[in-house]
Amino acid sequence: MPTMSSKTYPPSSEFSSGAHVDAGRYEEMYAASLADPEGFWAEQAKRIDWIKPFTRVKDVDFSFGNVSIKWFEDGTLNVSANCIDRHLATRGDQTAIIFEPDDPNEPAQHITYKELHAQVCKMANVLKALGVGKGDRVVLYLPMIPEAAYAMLACTRIGAIHSIVFAGFSPDALGARVNGCDAKLVITADHAPRGGRITKLKDNVNQALLNDFDEVKCLVVKRTGDPIAWRNELDFWWHEEAEKVSDDCPPEEMGAEDPLFILYTSGSTGQPKGVVHTTGGYLTYAAMTHEITFDYHDGDIYWCTADVGWVTGHSYIVYGPLANGATTLMFEGVPTYPDASRFWQVCEKHKVNQFYTAPTALRALMGQGNSFVEACDLSSLKVLGTVGEPINPEAWNWYNEVVGQGRCPIVDTWWQTETGGHLMTPLPGAHALKPGAAMKPFFGVKPVVLEPASGEIIEGNGVEGVLCIADSWPGQMRTVWGDHERFMKTYFADYKGYYFTGDGCRRDEDGDYWITGRVDDVINVSGHRMGTAEVESALVAHSKVSEAAVVGYPHAIKGQGIYCYVTLMAGEEPSDELRQELRTWVRQEIGPIASPDLIQWAPGLPKTRSGKIMRRILRKIAENDYATLGDTSTLADPSVVDDLIENRMNKA
């Protein structure tokens, strides 16, 4: 397949020899993790400090109707004590969090583990004073500021369950999530500066809490100090309440299976689901994957550009890194403010060693040209990572050559909100990378490829099908908040006895895994099944195309036709000649069967706030059935949809 480059990139022997896991060690540990999961995970759980040690490792039932997942069930621990207190003796003065504000002229902050301890204890005591206790739900609606981490850890310190709502969401989306978990308290900020613009967070909270939620209190962090509307007796300033409480708060003893947080999925495929993660297994898995996937070593500076509103921010900005005693960078801004060199300037300024971002950000930056990268000293970088969607080889190569200067392994981490941590990824010191491949399962993860219709296992290499996981891992979600039935129906009903990921994959001739996209995104053209991601990759590889999204639509002759939404590079003009040129191009890249039927010029694509294209909306428009688009509340910019409907190509 032409879009699947055959070139591989083995780690240098220098990198491998210093890495936590090299090729031999991977094989050995992976085999051990499948041969004796209980022994393997009992050993790995020693990364965490337990108050009362567990005696039972794993108690799992994947059978539909009885699904139940428990790890380390009778052990007790506290997450904030693991992320803070246990580091104080050895690294109390080390920086735990580097805060880089939206405005590059505002000074960065370095928060030590000692300072983190004091702030988290204070916030925990404030939460208690506001009536929040063990098991209560707290919604966080915050910018990417250190107080977001304090609030998460303060909740875990007293055993409250947090549910973070991305600060870009509307009052309606926020209200639905406050209501969905019966939150007692919302923690927000007055305003959120981002990309030079201001979001009025507290005003949004006021709107969300109007009428229905009169009793919900609100703790407000002062970020900009600009005026806001205040609800007397229900609203509290964080800085004022902090003065009234002690900076010591003993951590609550929590059961391993007590809920740690609720987090809604992105909503790319349907109504967002309130994913529930619990305490002991999640923390073990987040800590282990953070250390091994990124080959994190003591003293490294680690930066994940995600927002804490996504699971990536939970596991790989806060919980994983802090459990490992790392220095983790929190960035308040966006990649293109003040200009497209911001990411690289921050890497240079803080001497970042591991850098983890999303393909959508890379594609946007790649479109701006190399000069923004080349102006910065990126010699500190050691490992690069991506997450969120399949990375097209074009963007992979740019990341490798221009950002990593051919020197930094790229870990393409495939996982989900539901999985708590990485399920498949190359390990930087172990695997010869293939651009666009998720490569290998993480320890303890047992992928199976199934025939979509029959659910039969497909053995061997050089095969493609639906990706399921045969057994549990500690970071797995336990239920959908308040709806265990939906949990079972979504993940355990279609393929009995397995966790169904919703994604398709290919296991290539070498036994390496490629995520081909969502199963929903597979189309059947004249009897040929193909992943829409492949056509998208081909389109994006054309020099005039900046982004593309491909969906199927009913076609009288072929069954399904190929409908492409194409965004052109700045300065390129749409024309019928260009349409023809793109058709010819895709035919050459993939083959005549993949030739686009309809190409619509799209000035913008409908994306979730985390940058994923919402194909279910594009499918509806392509099917000329745009009256019922479903939940669009998680879209970053709902207005792009109007243009797409207006200019749709399949007007019946």
DSSP string, 114-136: HHHHHHHHHHHHHHHHTT--TT-
Contact 573, 545 (CB under 8 A): no
600 binds ligand ATP (CB under 6 A): no
**Helices then strands (H, E): number in the chain?**
22, 30
327 binds ligand ATP (CB under 6 A): no
Q: Which amino acid is at 356?
A: Y
Any known ligand binding at 579? no
- What is the β-pairing status of strands 137-141 and 161-164? parallel
* Pairwise CA distance, residues 619 & 636, whole Å: 18
* Pairwise CA distance, residues 346 & 111, whole Å: 17
Q: Roughly how many angstroms between the first and final C-alpha of the chain, as a whole number?
A: 35
Any known ligand binding at 268? no
By C-beta, is 80 or 501 nearer to ligand ATP?
Answer: 501
Q: What phi and psi values does residue 559 have, to the nearest 5 degrees?
A: 90, -70
Of positions 268, 305, 327, 560, contacts ligand ATP by CB under 6 A: 268
- Which of 470, 398, 402, 482 has the alpha carbon at shortest distance from 435? 398
Of positions 431, 507, 612, 615, contacts ligand ATP by CB under 6 A: 612
Any known ligand binding at 502? no
Contact 292, 322 (CB under 8 A): no
530 binds ligand ATP (CB under 6 A): no
Any known ligand binding at 490? no
- What is the β-pairing status of strands 354-357 and 383-387? parallel
By C-beta, is 147 or 307 nearer to ligand ATP?
Answer: 307
Count of residues interacting with ligand ATP (CB under 6 A): 24
Any known ligand binding at 583? no
420 binds ligand ATP (CB under 6 A): no
Q: Give the x/- contact pattern for ligand ATP in 360-399, rule: CB under 6 A.
A: ---------------------------xxxx---------
Any known ligand binding at 178? no
503 binds ligand ATP (CB under 6 A): yes
615 binds ligand ATP (CB under 6 A): no
414 binds ligand ATP (CB under 6 A): yes
Least CB distance to ligand ATP at residue 218 (A): 27
* Pairwise CA distance, residues 610 & 268, whole Å: 10
Contact 286, 317 (CB under 8 A): no
518 binds ligand ATP (CB under 6 A): yes
413 binds ligand ATP (CB under 6 A): yes
Q: Number of C-alpha atoms within 13 angstroms, CB side, residue 118? A: 8
**Which pair of structure tokens corresponds to residue 149?**
């981490």
Least CB distance to ligand ATP at residue 424 (A): 8
125 binds ligand ATP (CB under 6 A): no
Q: What's 470's DSSP letter?
A: S
117 binds ligand ATP (CB under 6 A): no
Any known ligand binding at 526? yes
Of positions 502, 552, 596, 606, contacts ligand ATP by CB under 6 A: 502
- Which of 515, 286, 590 has the alpha carbon at shortest distance from 419? 286
280 binds ligand ATP (CB under 6 A): no
Any known ligand binding at 478? no
**Which pair of structure tokens corresponds to residue 200?**
């009025």
| Interface positions with ligand ATP (CB under 6 A) | 265-270, 272, 387-390, 412-414, 416-417, 438, 501-503, 515, 518, 610, 612
* Binding-site sequence positions: 194-197, 312, 388-390, 412-417, 503, 518, 526, 529, 540, 542, 545, 587
* Binding-site sequence positions for ATP: 388-390, 412-417, 503, 518, 529
